[in-house]
Amino acid sequence: MKQREIKFRIWDAESDEMRYTDEISVYDNGLMFHFDTHNDDKEPVIMQYTGLKDKKGKEIYEGDILEGDNSVQYLTMFYDASFLGKVIGLFNGDKTIGNIYPLGHFQLTSISVIGTLYENPELTPDPLT
């Protein structure tokens, strides 16, 4: 059985940019990420790699906005030990906004990462409710 690669990215609200790092330390009370610079004024948002890639080979992380068949848009999230896609937009789609589907059931050859929750907030109409 192939194991999923454990990777993270961090939305650094202080610098308003997505950061990727391989320098991760695990402690009893959590994870520590190492950056060149960061102030603690704004809490960074940690997102985990799903282990999946879209049709172009782009890695899919929590917080990614995906677009599938019929131009249905999904927000990638982690909940109850599973990676999920929550329907956040419909363009000629037959899904219901707010419905949630396991990412493992997606046809990845028809899914594209079109943005992120933090870098492209205009693509996410009230995605966290």
Q: Where are the domains of the chain?
A: 8-123
Say whether pTM exceeds 0.95. Answer: no
Instruction: List pLDDT tens digits, range 58-68.
Output: 999 999 999 98
The two three-digit tokens of residue 39, written as one number? 């102030």
Return the CATH number of the domain spanning residue range 8-123. 2.30.30.290
Nearest to 12 by CA among 54, 43, 34, 36: 43
Question: In the predicted model, what is the mean pLDDT of residues 81-94?
Answer: 82
Backbone angles phi, psi at 67, to 5 degrees: -125, 130
What pLDDT does 12 receive? 81
Answer for the pair 67, 111: CB distance below 8 angstroms, yes or no: yes
What pLDDT does 129 receive? 43
Whether 51 has a pLDDT exceeding 50, the answer reads yes
The mean of the pLDDT values for the chain is: 81
Distances (CA, A) of 48 to 13, 55, 72, 126: 17, 19, 23, 21
Longest dimension (CA), the chain: 47
